[in-house]
Structure 1
Amino acid sequence: MPTPTKGARLGGSPAHESLILKNLATSLFEHGRITTTQTRAKRLQPVAERLISKAKRGDLHNIRQIAKTVHNKTPRRPDEPGDANTILHRLITEIAPAMADRQGGYTRITKVGNRKGDNAPMAVIELVLEPVSPKQAVVREAEKAAKKSAPKAAAVEAPVEAPADEAVTEVAAEESAKQD
């Protein structure tokens, strides 16, 4: 008999935990945001982000891997009938292209307080569909470059300051000699 993995699982058995995560991922892609417990949201986030990364690649192998996880059902919206509007199709044709410029961080978890019945901490997990502005990306890259160069610049500036002080005192001495 194989030894089970350590730590608590959602729903008890490993099979039930994976089923819960598959259902949560399907609901997330169907509705765009779901309210669940913080623990489930934290466990769902890496699963959903991996699925979106696979959908962005878009080749047949990755689509089949996504199909193993996402339940391919039609949405519950009456205005979108037909098989072309399944959750899998929506993930590949709508969600993945919206995330094309984003390198990661496809989902966002927001804590919303505790549930009334059992006081369980709740959270909203949602897809981040806002486009990445190029200005933010440039600012972040500049901040990273400044952080990397700051220790190097401080080390380079320290020896340069001492000769600069001597040069200033020499210039001041020459000026005072000219005035006499």
Structure 2
Amino acid sequence: MNHKKKNNHLSRKFGHRKSMLSNMSSSLIKKKKIFTTLAKAKALRQYIEPIITKSKINTTHSRRNIFSFLRDKIAVSELFKDSFNKVRKRSGGYTRIIKVGFRFGDMSKYSLIELVDFNDFYLVNKKNVIKSVRRSNRLKKK
């Protein structure tokens, strides 16, 4: 039976999977979005969300804990900068997975994983949004 086995092994052994997820998470923190397969993106989301939650507490202990997961000084320092204040205000759900299509080499499902607060496309000002006019108001006779 497969009870309490929630992580996807991704056809890799423990050491390879751990180093792959730490490399992908540090790349995601540095670049704010990366392209990967859908299965790796879902595994990465489970890996990185607790790390971002731990970064809300800016202490030496939390920095060392996060460094043990990421193993990248630049990514850890980036996670504690002022540019991540938007992320600290959010209560959860720091990443978004968007299905892009299929990879050409092996036709595997390809996706984009990004940090939610750093996408400028979804952060549109309300002044630029054009309101639609209801058709029934225009057709009424006065």
Shorter-chain TM-score tier: 0.7 to 0.9
Once the 2 structures are TM-superposed, how far is the Cα of residue 94 of structure 1 from its aligned partner? 3.7
Distance 1:29 1:117 in 2: 27
Q: Which residue of 2 aligns with 1:88?
A: 76
* Gap regions ≥5 residues in structure 1: 74-85, 134-180
* 1:36 counterpart SS class: strand
Change (3 A) 1:72 1:110: same
Residue 103, structure 1, aligned to residue 91, structure 2 = yes
Q: After TM superposition, which residue ranges in structure 1, 4 or more long, deviate above 6 angstroms? A: none
How large is the Cα RMSD of the aligned pairs? 2.3
TM superposition score normalised by structure 1: 0.58
Secondary structure, aligned partner of 2:114: strand
Q: Give the Cα–Cα distance (whole angstroms) in 2 for the partners of residues 6 and 116 of structure 1.
A: 29
Q: What is the match of residue 110 of structure 2?
A: 122
Residues 52 and 96 in structure 1, CA contact (< 8 A), matched pair in contact too: no
* Alpha-carbon contact 1:10-1:20 (below 8 Å) kept: no
Could you tell me the percent identity over the aligned residues? 34
Question: 1:99 touches 1:129 (CA, 8 Å); kept in 2?
Answer: yes
Partner of 1:26: 26
Deviation at 1:92, TM superposition (A): 0.9
The two structures have a TM-score, normalised by structure 2, of 0.73
Greater helix share, structure number: 1
CA distance 1:95–1:56, shift in 2 (3 Å): farther
Q: Supply the AA of the counterpart residue of 1:31.
A: K
- Highest RCO, 1 vs 2 (Cα 8 Å, sep ≥ 6): 2
Rg: which structure is higher?
1
Cross-structure match for 1:65: 65
Q: Is the 8 A contact 1:55 1:96 kept in 2?
A: no
SS of the residue aligned with 1:56?
A: coil
- Give per-residue Cα distances to partners, 1:70-112, cap 9 Å, x unaligned: 2325xxxxxxxxxxxx221111114542212211011100000
* Residue of structure 2 in register with 1:41 after alignment: 41
The answer to whether the Cα contact below 8 Å between 1:112 and 1:122 also exists between their aligned partners in 2 is: yes
Q: Unaligned regions of 5+ residues in structure 2, if any?
A: 124-142
How far has the Cα of 1:12 moved from its partner?
A: 1.8
